[in-house]
Structure 1
């Protein structure tokens, strides 16, 4: 019975480790399909373990193989993954969290949990070492923590439960009952460890930045519109890029956001995040208690938008397979994919009011503004914020200068200049007229110059009739979001819409309701010196006897585990090398890294490529593949051109390298792609 009890305890530990994948699917215990799949696979494994413990004469090899087959069959049957279950790990590594609890991703997690349960139980039943049964569940738990690092945290009871089961497995492996003194010492040590984890863990160094294993894999989704959708502002405003969207919302009067632009290079605001494959549930980081849930129904009647429209940060979407930026929540249509024509969204809208903003501190920017503001813009900022010592007071001063001082005008003329870089901002300060594109860019740049974290948001300001709305290109809009401690990103609209100049035929007929919800600073009156306000309270949040005929089982299992690690180390090393090449600080070396990566893929495809070939010779090996030829041109420019490599060339080179890799993979069969995935030859030749 001791053997059976130890095997069952080890199985329970494996099942608990499997539940550690809960954050990948939204939290612990997780959605019902996830719990059901893990319980089914762990239950099947525990059944095999119980049989092995009760019938010790069964050959261990037969039991192990039968158990593995049963667990695999259970995972496939419960999740309906079929042979696609092999794609589950890749989809988990490249997808956004939370993952949808269906298909291959769920099947892969359930299979991993079931195998961890099976191996833990078999080691408990057959192995002599009391530590051996603990290893598979801990490996499973480590994988769960790495994969779900960006998801919700595990509940407080989880760590003590793991500790209790580990101790139970170890004690069950003892030949004699431990003495009371030993039990008391172990219990006291465990209690101190658990208490220290619960009390000191959140304040431990690095606890706010968990290691996410998904960062080792490049995000595979490329937005269809590129990285600067704000360049389409004029085309939408003039309706040369036609679009018409209708729908309903539970919160009429608000704006519809489209894309968040958080990187400024002096000329353009661009999207800076990585886009991962999204399911129907999207990542959301709570930013306080001042958020409201808004539901919307969107119908695209004409046009082909490159982004999903939503009143706020989308948390649920009825269409899967799009790309999502986990940091901003933007949902983009991937390149080569048609836009959805109808979808429903659930989103979170920040409803912070002016009082909350005045009592909160703006969050400092993570890096200085580069390139710095020209002297004209810097002088304007210094004059505007003079006498305002607080960051909030300076933001209000800039807002009031644009919005209510009376000398800046909102340009409604038919023909208006486009652009939002330093040149256009200086032109705005000289002429004192511009569109929301220029006002939003100017305010965000000036806030960044003051050291505050700010960004530009592009979207639409719909026309409402009740809870129904209509959006056309003329409703295109831009505004600013500033991050405040304890509040998150708060909308600020610096455009002086009440002081217009010029007119156009397609000017929006009905202005959108603004006020405390859409523009919390609208009704504020700046006080000299920024006023006094309370500061925010926080910075943001006994050994068994082995059978003689089974003595080789632990060695065999260990050797198998080492073999698996050795095999998986090849694609793992390739992934790490690819990431280092792509993220090289030198643009020139980053472009060359794209070429080296492509040459490696050519070798894996069976082409006689190598470092000694010129770019022209490599292109000739593929019969002049256009994508490879384009990449070769970029590489030659980066390697031999006298001028410095442009900052956007590495991105274009890696995008082209990805297209070449896809073309090469399409020319290989399933077996060839599998062989290339584990091919170690490209790792043997140093770069």
Structure 2
């Protein structure tokens, strides 16, 4: 018994000495438990617990060292634990790169990425760095204050601050941490109740104190600890309800104060990139290797598609695999935009439960970026797992971005869940309505009346939503033609020209941009929630070229989700004229036909003849007023026309003859664009100079063709009276290089205005004058009369003052 007593005494002493360090470890670790509720898995919780244990144990082991030496030793140990944690998190997320690169990226972006990460947060290096470092520093500060100075309550402050910060970061994204908070208070009370002093050892003068004195000291320490605990509990009970009443019932989410990752302006509307890709179809954008449900797909040009999967064969028609790049849900009558909210995500992405009775396939892809630019990351819908690249994800659209941007050689793997709805359910499915889908039902103001009437006509005989969608799809596929060099644009005027413009004059043809945008707008006018998707049609293996890029519309059905449609025409099928199936009703009723003359004379008496003699005063005044008014009106009109003619000629001389050579070249180009506008072929600001030159050649060729068919004598041009003479060389072949030459001069001036020479400016004026003369001469005679006095160039000059172009005009 005598020998066992010292052992028990030493055990009690050790437990008393370890009570405060254990309490500090537990309090710091509980902050990691609270924060780990919004993380996927338990990796973060384990790393924070390790940081809590390591920081407190280093302080305990270094108690005999000078106080100034403890912090450097602990920080060195923290660096080792942090680096190991970052490497573990990088391996867990399958992120490429060395440890130094990963650490630098996490240090620069740790806090914003933590606050913009998607819930549940994936434990990646940038989302674990801040919690691990904060836990270590809190444990270090608390241990030094509580153990070295003996002020336990003050030593609890760093752990308590870390706990409050964890609660704030979690916000409303998890259930209230009631149980963890109770455990935090209990551990703090136990640590306060434990004595921090050491029991006097043998030989110590304090050991000679009478047992009664030692008992009194213990009683005083116990009373002080009990009083401290009672005081803390009392304050919590007293002030807790008051503080809770002043706080909103729903915690504040700090994520609303931090801007999430954004796409570039290039990616905000990738629909306009379709036409540019169509002009360079051989440009290599991606390399793709695909497996669907474990079986590799055939390469492009391999096995033919199954019947009913070719373009235009119905909803969801496709060849090979559709790789989705962007989803555009917002339309303001001018531009379709992405409008997504991207959150930093890890390797595993949240995926909603599949729709009822849908066939689900797993698609795995290895994608290598070649010449695709921007931040949008291509993937088959809907991605579930991404490795090899750090991504941000928008759950509403199921699209990905890489915040750092795409770079050639970037290689990543995507596992997607592809759904195929049951056709039997689709035929009877309804479409949702209400505030939840108002965004994809919104129709901006300014819809052209013919477009609205067309949507009404297509919806009249098709009541079911699927029937309406198929009617729009069939109408577009049967009446319009796909043309690779069609100009970009999907605003209301562009879509109106695409749907109802003259065949042979650029109307009723376009790229998939116009087909998808027209379907989406007509669908919304018919009550269908629609959106536009931009992506690529590719085979299972091999490169994805710019010519594989296309856009398609999707319709939202109740219980089935978004269903793709394909309004593109079938290959080698000649479209029917729109007029065969759509005849817009005139806004005003036509005048009634004049009645046929009767055979018998009218029975009404003829008016009596006026007596001979001078006219009356009333008749004279009327004639004078009418005659004087007509003459005055003619004088005013003549003066106005002469003024317009003088202003137009002055504007032309200013553009072609005044200023430095760069300004004169730009002025010659403005003369050409004004001429195209006067000819009814305005060019958009989004077109490059070479695209405008191509449109100018097309406008001149069509004008000549129309003049030739009409037999008009105005086809003689300024080139000596020959049909093609406006530009040296004569004929269309001679006119085309001259417009291209002017576009080339303009691009040179745009990049180096000071390098333009006087002979280049003279050549630009010569080409512009010849082209305008040729284009004007091909117009009808009455349009040629109005050409020189039309005020449109004056208005355009007022909006765009004459200046050096800082870049090639578009």
Task: Please report the TM-score for the alignment, with normalisation by the length of structure 2.
Answer: 0.47
1:459 paired with 2:567, answer no
Residue 153 (structure 2) pairs with residue 128 (structure 1): yes
Matches within 5 A, 1:553-572: none
Q: Deviations over 1:370-424 (max 9, x none)?
A: 4453433334434444598xxxx66424312213468844524565454222223
Q: Distance in 2 between matches of 1:498 and 1:173?
A: 80
Match status 1:74 vs 2:81: yes
Matched, 1:258 2:311: no
- Is the 1:296–1:345 Cα contact (8 Å) retained in structure 2? yes
Do residues 18 (structure 1) and 35 (structure 2) align? no
Q: Offset of 1:141 from its aligned partner?
A: 1.2
Aligned counterpart in structure 2 of residue 9 of structure 1, from 19, 23, 44:
23
- The CA distance in 2 between the partners of 1:308 and 1:29, in whole Å, is 29
Q: Secondary structure at the match of 2:352?
A: coil
Counterpart in the other structure of 1:115:
137
Give the 3 Å change call, closer, same or farther, for CA 236–16 of structure 1 in structure 2.
same
Residues 90 and 417 (structure 1), Cα distance of their counterparts in 2 relative to 1, 3 Å cut:
same
Distance 1:267 1:451, change over 3 A: same
Unpaired runs of at least 5, structure 2? 1-14, 88-98, 194-221, 242-247, 298-319, 502-507, 576-750, 752-797, 800-810
Structure 1 residue 230 displacement after superposition: 1.2
Alignment of 1:167-178 (within 5 A): 167-170=186-189, 172-173=191-192
Residue deviations 1:57-108 (CA, integer Å, cap 9, x gap) = 9888876776555434532454366784643534625875477745455333
Following TM superposition, by how much is the alpha carbon of 1:461 offset from its aligned partner in structure 2, in angstroms? 1.9
Measured against aligned partners, the alpha-carbon deviations of 1:578-605 in whole angstroms (never above 9, x if no partner) come to xxxxxxxxxxxxxxxxxxxxxxxxxxxx
Answer yes or no: is 1:423 the counterpart of 2:493.
Answer: yes
Q: C-alpha distance in 2, partners of 1:206/1:451?
A: 37
C-alpha displacement at 1:495, in angstroms? 1.0
**Offset at 1:454?**
3.7
Partner of 2:548: 475
SS at match of 2:409: coil
Q: Which of 46, 49, 57 in structure 2 is aligned with 1:47?
A: 57
| 8 Å Cα contact 2:366-2:414 kept in structure 1 | yes
Counterpart Cα distance in 1 of 2:371 and 2:37: 38
Please name the residue that 2:761 is paired with: none
Cα distance, 1:493 vs. partner? 1.0
Instruction: Determine whether 1:492 maps to 2:564.
Output: yes
C-alpha distance in 2, partners of 1:87/1:273? 25
What is aligned with 1:281? 347
Say if 1:236 and 1:455 are closer, same or farther in 2 by CA, change over 3 A: same
Determine if the alignment matches structure 1 residue 437 to structure 2 residue 521: no
Measured after TM superposition, the shift of residue 428 of structure 1 is 4.5
Match of 1:377 among 451, 467, 487: 451
Structure-2 separation of matches of 1:325 and 1:225? 18
Instruction: Please say if 1:298 is aligned against 2:367.
Output: yes
Question: In structure 1, which of residues 211, 232, 240 is the aligned counterpart of residue 273 of structure 2?
Answer: 232
Structure 1 counterpart of 2:422, from 353, 356, 379: 353
Query: How do 1:298-317 and structure 2 match up within 5 A?
Result: 298-299=367-368, 303-306=371-374, 307-317=376-386
Residue in 2 that maps onto 1:138 = 163
Q: Which has the higher helix share?
A: 2
Separation in 2, partners of 1:280, 1:315: 10
| Residue 295 (structure 1) shift | 0.6
Alpha-carbon distance in structure 2 between the residues aligned to 1:76 and 1:248: 35
* Residues 145 and 152 in structure 2, CA contact (< 8 A), matched pair in contact too: yes
1:92 to 103, 113, 118: 113
Q: State the alpha-carbon separation in 1 of the partners of residues 558 and 37 from structure 2.
A: 25
Q: CA RMSD in A?
A: 4.9
* Correspondences of 1:533-548 after superposition (within 5 Å): none
* Kept after mapping to 2: 8 A contact 1:365/1:448: no
Residue-by-residue CA offset, 1:98-154 (whole Å, 9 max, x unaligned): 7774545533331123234445566766333797476223234135415xx7xxx65
> Are 2:474 and 2:567, in contact at CA under 8 Å, matched by a contact in 1?
no
Work out the CA distance in 1 between the residues paired with 2:115 and 2:411: 26
- Contact kept, 8 Å, 2:116 with 2:258, in 1: the verdict is no
In structure 2, what is the equivalent of residue 211 of structure 1? Answer: 253
Contact 1:310 1:345 in 2 (8 A): yes
When Rg is computed on C-alpha atoms for both structures, the one with the higher figure is: 2
Alignment deviations for residues 330-381 of structure 1 (CA, whole Å, 9 cap, x no partner): 3456688633354332223343434666277364224844445343333443
Equivalent residue runs for 1:392-407 within 5 Å: 395-404=465-474
Superposed, which structure 2 residues align to 1:619-634 within 5 Å?
A: none
Distance 1:171 1:447 in 2: 67
Aligned equivalents of 1:265, 1:132: Cα separation in 2 = 54
**Structure-2 change in CA distance of 1:384 and 1:402 (3 Å):** closer
Give secondary structure in 2 for the equivalent of 1:225. Answer: helix
Secondary structure of 1:260 counterpart: strand
Indicate how the Cα distance of structure 1 residues 29 and 346 shifts in structure 2: closer, same or farther if over 3 A, else same.
same
Task: Answer whether contact 2:483 2:509 (CA < 8 A) is retained.
Answer: no
Alpha-carbon distance between aligned partners in 1 of 2:281 and 2:81, rounded to the nearest angstrom: 55
Normalised to the residue count of structure 1, the TM-score between the two structures is: 0.55
CA distance in 1, matches of 2:562, 2:339: 19
Which secondary structure does the structure 1 equivalent of 2:489 belong to? coil
Is the 2:282–2:547 Cα contact (8 Å) retained in structure 1? Answer: no
Match of 2:734 in 1: none
Change in Cα spacing, 1:316 to 1:401, as seen in structure 2 (3 Å) is same
Q: Describe the shift of the 1:498–1:379 C-alpha distance in structure 2 as closer, same or farther (beyond 3 A).
A: same
Question: In structure 2, do the counterparts of structure 1 residues 120 and 412 end up closer, same or farther at CA, with 3 Å as the change threshold?
Answer: same
Is contact 2:114-2:126 (8 Å) kept? no
The answer to whether the Cα contact below 8 Å between 2:387 and 2:413 also exists between their aligned partners in 1 is yes
Q: Secondary structure at the match of 1:298?
A: strand
Kindly indicate whether the alpha-carbon contact (under 8 Å) linking 1:258 and 1:310 is maintained by their aligned counterparts in 2. Answer: yes
Is the contact made by 1:283 and 1:329 (CA closer than 8 Å) also made in structure 2?
no
The Cα of 1:459 is off from its aligned counterpart by: 0.9
Q: How many residues align?
A: 465
